[in-house]
Amino acid sequence: MAATDIRGVMGFFTAVMVFFILHYGCKKKEDILSGPMVAYISNDDHQYGEIYICKLYGNKPQRISKVNESTQPAFDGEISPEFSPDGRRIKFVGLTINNYMKVYDLVTKQLTEMERVKHSVWSPDGKQIAYVSYVDLSRKIKLINADGTNPRDLTAFYYGDTAVAFEHFQWQENENRIIAACQMTHNGIVTDNMVSIDPATGAIKEKYNLPMKKSFTLRGNKIAWIENDSVFIFDLLSKIKNGFAAQGDNPANPVISPDGARVAYTFVRKYFYMGRQYQCTDIATCNLNGFDRREITINPTIKDETKYKRDFYPFWLSNTELLYSAGVVYKVTDDILPVVEVVAQVTKANGQVQSNKK
């Protein structure tokens, strides 16, 4: 074969190899974030639960949390998985002892352990996390980059002659501000307050006439919380507070739907299994005034004995669908006659579940 022919053949094969490397190598990285995923807790290989991920409508779970005996007791699991808004990362915390915040990067597959936290939220762009540290007794809000670099204080302990200790907060995407519940101490008098904070400077921009020390959820311009077995909704624009008595025992964890039309919350219900009485947790939905209430997880498809976890927030997958984790991960329609569908055929899933579906 002539030298020119050999060079031509080699050139052809080189071009083919470059194509496959570029096409499939890049595609593999893109496939990690292509299509929605779910994050959930499972007791599959650890008594107190670890964090797993899989594709929505998938059955190949991947464990992303670890139990390291040098830093975590064997009886300490992981809780509170939460996808970043850009869908690339998941943060979660230790269950009982250490409360270390950890972040898993879906692209690099790196797990980064950060500080011990009382509460944390993602920034709207997914590049930062705001948190209150266990280490800092002043309860200031801090910021850290999503990769664990550049931790720094956002708020101060004193604003003029008033000491401010932050309890709970959410990052409001449409206004790019942090809405926070805090305790203010001025001249020895302690009051509970709701304020908005500039995430660029840490300055308190607005103080609402709302004595607030409860944990709450935020959707658009509305916050929701439970107080005295009632669900309350506060509009940050109109400054109007509305509430209604929540039906069901021990109502908790209210979350407003993406379109702001309905609210879902958990409640406790008694049931009988094998001749004995137990308690399980279900999800109810209703309008923001409490009407048109639906108990969407009381369904023979979701067995009562699998619904034993209580401390979790209902996750709205869309304006009409929610995720529920009880043995497997279900999608439940918000309807008078709810339709239940298995969306992740995994094992021993329970409690908290989330998705990065947009």
Q: Cβ(86)–Cβ(76) under 8 Å? A: no
The list of the chain residues with pLDDT below 50 reads: 3, 9, 12, 15-30, 69-70
How many CA within 13 A on the CB side of residue 70? 0
Q: Cβ(280)–Cβ(274) under 8 Å? A: no
> Exposed, middle or buried, 73 (CB in 10 Å: 0-12/13-18/19+)?
middle
Neighbours of 86 (CB within 10 A): 16
Residues 308, 348: Cα–Cα separation, whole Å = 12
Three-class SS of residue 309?
Answer: coil
Q: Residue 64's closest CA among 97, 88, 98? A: 88
Three-class SS of residue 237?
Answer: coil
Q: Cβ(114)–Cβ(150) under 8 Å? A: no
Residues 17, 25: Cα–Cα separation, whole Å = 11
- In what helix (H) or strand (E) does residue 145 lie, and over which residues does it extend? strand 141-145
The pLDDT score that the predictor gives to residue 8 is 53
The pLDDT score that the predictor gives to residue 75 is 57
What pLDDT digit, counting tens, does each position of 275-330 carry? 889 999 999 999 999 999 999 999 999 999 999 888 789 999 999 999 999 989 99
Residues 282, 105: Cα–Cα separation, whole Å = 32
The pLDDT score that the predictor gives to residue 168 is 94
Residues 222-244 as b or e (16 or more Cβ within 10 Å = b):
bbbbbeeeebbbbebeeeeeebb
Residues 52, 200: Cα–Cα separation, whole Å = 34
